Amino acid sequence: MFRSIKYQYSIFSIILLSLITLVYQIGVIAEETTYAQIQHETNIIEHQQQQKEVEEKACIPTKKITMILEDTEIEIAPGDKVKAWAFNGTVPGPTIRATEGENISIVFLNKGAYPHTMHFHGIHDDKNDGVFPVIMPGKSYTYNITAEPAGVLMYHCHVPPVSEHIRMGMYGAFVIDPKDKPLKPAKEYYMVMSEFSTDEKNVTKFLADYYPINGYSFQYMQHPIEINQGDILRLYLVNEGITIPFSMHLHSTIFDVYPSGLLSNEPYQAQSISVAPGDAVIVEAKWRYPGSYMFHSHGFQEEHGNMGHILVKENTTKLTDSVSMFDWQYDLQKKLQIAAAKKQ
């Protein structure tokens, strides 16, 4: 009997030990599983935090621009003035220029009497698309966009009726230089095609009274664009009109065209290039012979402000780097539009 009890006790001890061992192993496994889960979740959180830091760092603006919208009056031809809704006092507004991939912060302040926005062509999210929110008079909004794709785009107000806001002057060019593929050395100009109606009661009439380049009629007849013989003239051309295409023609040359103003597109040769409202092109041209040559849009626009001269000088030195004439153009525009309007 004693042996039987001892035997039973031994069996019980073995079972108990096995249970203790099993419970311990289960505990170890559970602890390891819990630790693994914690470590996994920690890794996810750390990855998310790192990703957030990368995204926040990527969104830090490297260029800050202030755009002030005001109701004003500008001169668009000698003796002819129009009321305008102007970015920083001019029509078109200042040309925005950035490098592909650059983060830009645009502070828009609406000092006008009506609601407005700034809509940018290109790639961005809906918060920065310039449709909503609508910026009420006296309010401001900051748009944060990444400059892409490389080429020439545009900006304009997108509050309905959009055609009225554009005709009143709310637009400008947006030039994005390529980051990794430098362009050939050239002398660079921008050309914004505009439409103006002098009839305040019918601002959006189909046939406008003036079709100037960069906001002032025939300005490049008296102030010609200059280029040396054999050098590249690069034109960033956008059509900010609301009705008809502009068919731009450069005299005495055949030129290369980047369709829709995108440098990712293959260029082709042309004698004239038609640009629809809301679209753009980049033109690269050379002249074989020195002289004074005209440029204009084919059609009735050329008799209504869309004409100028290109002075091709005999070449003595060749361009080794690109030269931007944007500042010269904008200074001329301000002198003609603002200073002339104030004198009268």
pLDDT digits (tens, 9 = 90+) for 142-154: 999 999 999 999 9
Q: What is the DSSP string of 75-103?
A: EEETTEEEEEEEETTBSS-PPEEEETT-E
Structure tokens at 61: 């603006």
Rounded alpha-carbon distances, angstroms, from residue 291 to 181, 215, 264, 287: 32, 26, 33, 9
Q: What are phi and psi of 273, to 5 degrees?
A: -135, 125
Kindly state whether residue 263 falls inside one of the protein's structural domains.
Answer: yes
Q: What is the mean pLDDT of residues 191-199?
A: 97
> In what helix (H) or strand (E) does residue 108 lie, and over which residues does it extend?
strand 103-110
Q: What is the mean pLDDT of residues 220-243?
A: 97
pLDDT of 316: 78
pLDDT of 41: 58
Low-confidence winner among 6-20, 216-230, 325-339 (lowest mean pLDDT): 6-20
pLDDT of 13: 63
Kindly state whether residue 289 falls inside one of the protein's structural domains.
Answer: yes
Residue type, 244: I
Contacts of 142 (CB under 8 A, 6+ apart): 105, 106, 107, 108
Contacts of 310 (CB under 8 A, 6+ apart): 224, 225, 226, 227, 233, 250, 251, 287, 292, 293, 294, 295
Residues 80-130 pLDDT 10s = 999 999 999 999 999 999 999 999 999 999 999 999 999 999 999 999 999
Kindly state whether residue 219 falls inside one of the protein's structural domains.
Answer: yes
The domain that contains 73 carries what CATH number?
Answer: 2.60.40.420
Q: Cis omega before residue 61 (within 30°)?
A: no
pLDDT of 224: 98
| Mean of per-residue pLDDT scores for the chain | 89
Which residue is it, tokens 């060749």? Answer: 318
Alpha helices in 185-249 (DSSP H): 219-222
Residues 21-73 pLDDT 10s = 655 565 555 555 555 564 565 466 556 555 545 454 556 888 999 999 999 99
Q: Is residue 258 helix, strand or coil?
A: strand
Kindly state whether residue 32 falls inside one of the protein's structural domains.
Answer: no
pLDDT of 315: 82
The rounded radius of gyration (Å) of the Cα atoms in the chain is 32
Contacts of 139 (CB under 8 A, 6+ apart): 110
- pTM as predicted: 0.83
Rounded alpha-carbon distances, angstroms, from residue 294 to 13, 226, 329: 109, 12, 18
* Degrees to nearest 5, angle at CA 140 with 135 and 144: 95
pLDDT at 11 over 60: yes
Beta strand 246-250 pairing with 291-297: antiparallel
Kindly state whether residue 23 falls inside one of the protein's structural domains.
Answer: no
pLDDT of 42: 47
Kindly state whether residue 34 falls inside one of the protein's structural domains.
Answer: no
Residues 106-116 pLDDT 10s = 999 999 999 99
pLDDT of 60: 82
Kindly state whether residue 43 falls inside one of the protein's structural domains.
Answer: no
> Which residue segment(s) compose the domain that 113 sits in?
63-343
Residues 287-322 pLDDT 10s = 999 999 999 999 999 999 999 999 999 987 889 999
Kindly state whether residue 301 falls inside one of the protein's structural domains.
Answer: yes
In the chain, the percentage of residues whose pLDDT exceeds 90 is 78
Task: Measure CA 32 to chain center.
Answer: 54
Domain count, the chain: 1
Q: What is the mean pLDDT of residues 325-343?
A: 89
pLDDT of 19: 62
Sheet holding 307-313, edge to edge: 225-228, 307-313, 291-297, 246-250, 272-275
pLDDT of 339: 73
